[in-house]
Amino acid sequence: MKVAIYGQAYGPEVVAPVTTLLLELSKYKAEVCMEAEFAGLIGEAAKGYPVFSMKEGLDKSFDLMISIGGDGTILRAITYIRDLGIPVVGINTGRLGFLSIGKKEEVGEMLREFAEGRYHLVERSLVTATVPGQVPGGSLLNFALNEITVSRKDTTSMITVETYLNGEYLTSYWADGLILATPTGSTGYSLSCGGPVIMPTARSLVITPIAPHNLNARPLVISDDTQISLRVSGREAQHLLSFDSRLLSVDNGTEIRVQKADFCIRMVEFSSESFLKTIRNKLLWGEDRRN
């Protein structure tokens, strides 16, 4: 078994899960490789392990990537995986955890389930954006697992987002911004702005306005093979374009083309967990004092 490990912080809440993880992996005689900066944070405990970076060290021979942190850590981890097809699972040391579903107290059981094949892989679609003058796949990495968002910059004034679907005019949203979310991202920023929850395997995207001035502007679910074009206008010269949490400043009037990416991220889902169980627990569905 060949395993890559990624994390962004090494605080008290992470020490025990990492220690247990390395001990359990040694029992399976796993070949372990750590992300270079995370290995530096761990220090002595990471000594002797090979490292990988954004540019080198990962390839399709890896059986698994383990992300240690919250959902934001997984979103960062997938920028290392990109189109390699390496399955990823998260050990949740954060808070909510829709993506990082592994409990830090159950690291050993999680590895046993993986080694025994008691899991399945769920393909999660991504979205990508093309911006004239920006190099696709450059330092920003022009794809997102959760959402691509346009939003205002350096102003409290709303922006206007002119939106086209497959070349046909949809509407011009007058709002703080616009979210283009995948099914995975439907439980993130889009949900907090009133968007629907979408099953991870659905072939859909959702367009969710951020604080629209028109009260009849509602989230719209569309087919994931739709070509989306956006053009922003507003009082400032630029607006923000975000790929999950990675930000890019874009000149107003620039056409931004968004579509489903041509590769997927493979998420590990264990037999003891499921998306339905996760949303019941995280969104407290059914937790009504009257029942």
Compute the distance between CA of residue 217 and CA of residue 209 in angstroms, rounded to an integer: 7
Annotated active-site residue 71? The verdict is yes
- Which candidate in 63, 71, 176, 244 is catalytic? 71
Buried b (16+ CB within 10 A) or exposed e, 220-254: bbeebeeebbbbbebeeebbbbbbbebebebebeb
Q: How many CA atoms lie within 13 A of 45 on its CB side?
A: 15
DSSP label of 43: G
Q: How far is CA 41 from the centre of its chain?
A: 23
Contact between 68 and 21 (Cβ < 8 Å):
yes
Q: Residue 8: phi, psi to the nearest 5?
A: -115, -15
Residues with catalytic roles: 71
